[in-house]
Structure 1
Amino acid sequence: MTRKFFGTDGIRGRTNEAPMTAAMAQRIGQAAGAHFLRGEHRHRVVIGKDTRLSGYMMETALVSGFTSVGMDVVMVGPVPTPAVAMLTHSMRADLGVMISASHNKFVDNGIKLFGPDGYKLSDKDEMAIEALLEQEPRLVPAEQIGRSRRIEDARGRYIHAAKLTFPKHLRLDGLKVVIDCANGAAYQVAPSALWELGATVIAIGVEPNGLNINDGCGSTDPTVLKETVVASGADIGLALDGDADRLIVVDEEGESIDGDQLMALIGSSWHRRGRLRGGGIVSTVMSNLGLERYMNELGLRLERTQVGDRYVLEAMRARGYNVGGEQSGHIILSEYATTGDGLVAGLQILAELVAQDKPASELLKLFEPLPQLLKSVRYGGGAPLEADKVKAAIAAGEAALGDKGRLVIRKSGTEPVIRVMAEGEDEALVARIVNEICEEVKAA
């Protein structure tokens, strides 16, 4: 059965257009709340959000939905997605909700759901909630309506939990760190955690106004971060996205370091210390072939999944891995978090920077990535990947790359685009293949 509303990371869309309307948010609250009503205890849901303007509207609608089916609501305000996951479990809530469209601009919003264990919902749970969305809500009698309240110590709880992941014998004293919070959910917690661990902190992207989240800042646009790192003589720069579940790093020379290199560093260092479980790491089909070859040289595996950090986590849990992530910067360290956590991943990188006493430019370039090109083609409907000419172009590209490269074509799970990625040893060939396939997709 195909999911109608849920994509690879919750429900997402343009605000005030279906499905991202207040009415739909209320229905989602009613459906998700009804699905997680189990037992005779007083049920509780934790709701967090990022800093986009529409978060107020979506939060209010969700509170209305949850309380109408008998759930109490705890609102924690702007906090990172991993904070909501952590608080859901630590507060013994039955459900957690993060209102965020992650790295998208303010015009979009989304709803991410977490189960009582702090993990994102399974396909089975999402399908059950979708089925309830098609039915009339099961409203409770007036005396059973839930209550809502706001707590003020959520950020402090998360900062404390994040700092506990940093090695106790290390400090960040003497290290100058630029942190770009994308004018998003971590604008308070990330600079505070770094400062409390001893770093000299230069914080940018920490003046949210509801409209500037991910706007010329954060992990999707580290231009200002690069300039600031070089101009200030900082040792390293960290860039989070709007809900702080992903991380991109900039070295002291102003060069971007993606999630593949971050996973290589964490995976290899944990392997040397006997901490790595599963015999390797988990990533998606989008990770560079250079990462796979590097892990193989260490006698380790790179297990690939379909795109989406939830699928990475599912493979990690099923097969006993404790390090995984995506090239885009979602880094999952299952000993510390139940989802991607940009701040926690950043602290692991900073710990290695201190422990190995190397410049970031040396520490974070463990393998030479193969030439890789990714392009996106927006489409308005239909099935362009089923067109004969598109299939022929894909087949020709695969034949041209042979066993010296890879070709990945997929529909995005969060927006109406086709993503075309190729990598191989010949950069010109990679570019030609991607461009030819993109042209055929456009024509279709």
Structure 2
Amino acid sequence: MQQRKYFGTDGIRGEANKELTIDIAVRLGYALAYYLKKKNPDKKKIDVVIGSDTRISGYMLRSALMAGISSMGVHITYVGVLPTPGVAYLTQVKSADAGIMISASHNPAKDNGIKIFRSNGTKLPDEIELELEVLMDDYEEISKECVVGDKVGKILMEDDDYFLYRDYLLSTVKGDFSGMKIILDSANGAAFKLARSVFSRLGAEIVSINDLPTGTNINVKCGSTHPEILAKVVIGYSADLGLAYDGDADRLMAVDKFGNIIDGDKIISILALNLKEKDELNNNKVVTTVMSNMGFEKYLENKGITLVRANVGDRYVIAKMKEQGLNLGGEQSGHIIMSDYNTTGDGVLVSLKLVEALRDCGKSIDELVSGIVDWPQILINVRVENSKKNTWDENSAIKEIIRIKEKEMDGLGRVLVRTSGTEPLVRVMVEGKDKIQVDSVAAVIADVVKKELE
């Protein structure tokens, strides 16, 4: 794939006003508007939906982005602070030509990002992102097509569109949650109003924490990446469970009544079994990533559910789901996609469906995941010559030792070798039922990698 200049694995992201600058935002606005106009030459009115999380830099970037877009005659509906999946949903509902979320997700408050959705609510494919990058670097030329005077695009502030998304989420639940006590941690982010609103309307007893955003406290020792405080509050309030979102609420992590963290894989297991019981789990398969534990895989297998692995990253999970026609997938990190309801990971939606599943089966979350026993796992980071790190999978000695050791484990373990994207490291991960064997296999493979690539 062609080397990228601006876009990463999830849009454009970086420290606000340093790596993600006003200049980049304006040029992206120009480029996207130009692209949409060229793609729809006969369309008289082109519309873009924009939402944001609670970061203080969001106002700055939003203004720059809107300036570039509207100066090309494209109209904008700003829907206010809303989770990323809410923007994806409204892009479809409002028949917009594109949607944009201004957020750096689970990153620190100093960072920000820009994600773009197509009219169907899915993220842009690589080829369109690369096309936009070319246009961004040619903005002096494409800006010649800016409109003038009263031909510029209108900018509408439609904060009430929040209710369209909220009411849609409510419509996905049958019955209510009366009699349940739930602690919500919104990470001082995009779900700070939405989460407590939907759960309160469904009759649950709610305690909401980290729901007072200042613009600088998003994700600070809270939310899905730091659920430690949530765990203490769940215990302190004798709650049934806790639910934690990240800054843009496309992730969910849970906490049981004993304060144990329930990761994305375990949440997927509960949802998968619930869907299977209702005969609603497509092909009785789920998609997770290469990082999912084999103990989790064997647990699902024993329940009649096949685990399909994708590369790390929600875009790869979604691609695998589409490829095999599946309706549930996600990652350990809490990105969980229920494609019957939305096109992207949706933390609030998934939390509603999780609580609905708990209510329907009459069991607590700790009871439902008690049968999942993670197999021992070890990760060894091998420092190698940076110029050689991406050649490990072409090295005959490394490939042979991996083959031998995987055969030794005889289906009761696996080897995963990956390179670091930022450091001169080859990561050797070994997982298996027997810890002594796992440690031994990892050490042997790591020694060969070091010998061959240092």
Compared CA separation, residues 397 and 204, structure 1 to 2 (3 A) = farther
Does 2:200 correspond to 1:195? yes
Does 2:124 correspond to 1:114? no
Corresponding position of 2:159: 152
Does 2:433 correspond to 1:425? yes
- Taking the aligned partners of 2:104 and 2:348, their CA distance within structure 1 comes to 18
- Taking the aligned partners of 1:161 and 1:87, their CA distance within structure 2 comes to 10
Shift of 1:289: 1.5
Corresponding position of 1:294: 299
Compared CA separation, residues 82 and 299, structure 1 to 2 (3 A) = same
Does 2:48 correspond to 1:42? no
Corresponding position of 1:79: 82
Does 2:377 correspond to 1:358? no
- Taking the aligned partners of 1:366 and 1:346, their CA distance within structure 2 comes to 21
- Which segment is superposed worse, 80-89 or 62-71? 62-71
Q: 1:230, 1:254 within 8 Å by CA — same for their partners in 2?
A: yes
Greater per-residue helix proportion? 2
Compared CA separation, residues 365 and 65, structure 1 to 2 (3 A) = farther
- Taking the aligned partners of 1:298 and 1:268, their CA distance within structure 2 comes to 8
Shift of 1:126: 1.6
- Taking the aligned partners of 1:280 and 1:51, their CA distance within structure 2 comes to 36
Secondary structure of the residue that 2:142 maps to in structure 1? coil
Secondary structure of the residue that 2:353 maps to in structure 1? helix
- Report % sequence identity: 39
Match of 1:249 among 237, 251, 254: 254
Does 2:214 correspond to 1:215? no
Match of 1:123 among 122, 126, 133: 126
Match of 1:52 among 48, 51, 55: 55
Does 2:339 correspond to 1:334? yes
Q: 1:393, 1:440 within 8 Å by CA — same for their partners in 2?
A: no
Q: 2:420, 2:426 within 8 Å by CA — same for their partners in 1?
A: yes
Shift of 1:317: 2.0
Deviations 1:195-230 (A, max 9, x none): 000000011111111111111101111000000000
Amino acid at match of 2:354: I
Does 2:187 correspond to 1:163? no
Shift of 1:374: 5.8
Does 2:31 correspond to 1:28? no
Deviations 1:244-265 (A, max 9, x none): 0011110111101111111111
Corresponding position of 1:404: 412
Deviations 1:8-42 (A, max 9, x none): 21121222223x11111111121122222213231
Q: 2:336, 2:345 within 8 Å by CA — same for their partners in 1?
A: yes
- Taking the aligned partners of 2:419 and 2:155, their CA distance within structure 1 comes to 39
Secondary structure of the residue that 1:268 maps to in structure 2? helix
- Taking the aligned partners of 2:114 and 2:383, their CA distance within structure 1 comes to 23
- Taking the aligned partners of 2:424 and 2:162, their CA distance within structure 1 comes to 35
Secondary structure of the residue that 1:9 maps to in structure 2? coil
Corresponding position of 1:270: 275
- Which segment is superposed worse, 290-299 or 49-58? 290-299
Deviations 1:110-162 (A, max 9, x none): 11110001111112222221222232352322143212121121222221111
Secondary structure of the residue that 1:45 maps to in structure 2? strand
Shift of 1:326: 0.9
Q: Identify unmatched segments of 5+ residues in structure 2.
A: none
Shift of 1:291: 2.5
Deviations 1:246-297 (A, max 9, x none): 1111011110111111111111211111111133111111122223222322
Secondary structure of the residue that 2:183 maps to in structure 1? strand
- Taking the aligned partners of 2:214 and 2:443, their CA distance within structure 1 comes to 38
Alignment of 1:91-106 (within 5 A): 91-106=94-109
Q: 1:258, 1:327 within 8 Å by CA — same for their partners in 2?
A: yes
TM-score using structure 1 length: 0.90
Secondary structure of the residue that 1:119 maps to in structure 2? coil
Q: 2:389, 2:426 within 8 Å by CA — same for their partners in 1?
A: no
Q: 1:374, 1:434 within 8 Å by CA — same for their partners in 2?
A: no
Match of 1:65 among 65, 68, 92: 68
Does 2:236 correspond to 1:235? no
Give the number of aligned pairs.
438
Amino acid at match of 1:352: A
- Taking the aligned partners of 1:29 and 1:434, their CA distance within structure 2 comes to 50
Compared CA separation, residues 416 and 150, structure 1 to 2 (3 A) = farther
Q: 1:394, 1:437 within 8 Å by CA — same for their partners in 2?
A: no
Deviations 1:290-319 (A, max 9, x none): 232223223332111111111211222232
- Taking the aligned partners of 1:212 and 1:409, their CA distance within structure 2 comes to 36
Q: Identify unmatched segments of 5+ residues in structure 1.
A: none
TM-score using structure 2 length: 0.88
Q: 1:88, 1:117 within 8 Å by CA — same for their partners in 2?
A: yes
Q: 2:293, 2:375 within 8 Å by CA — same for their partners in 1?
A: yes
Q: 2:383, 2:450 within 8 Å by CA — same for their partners in 1?
A: no
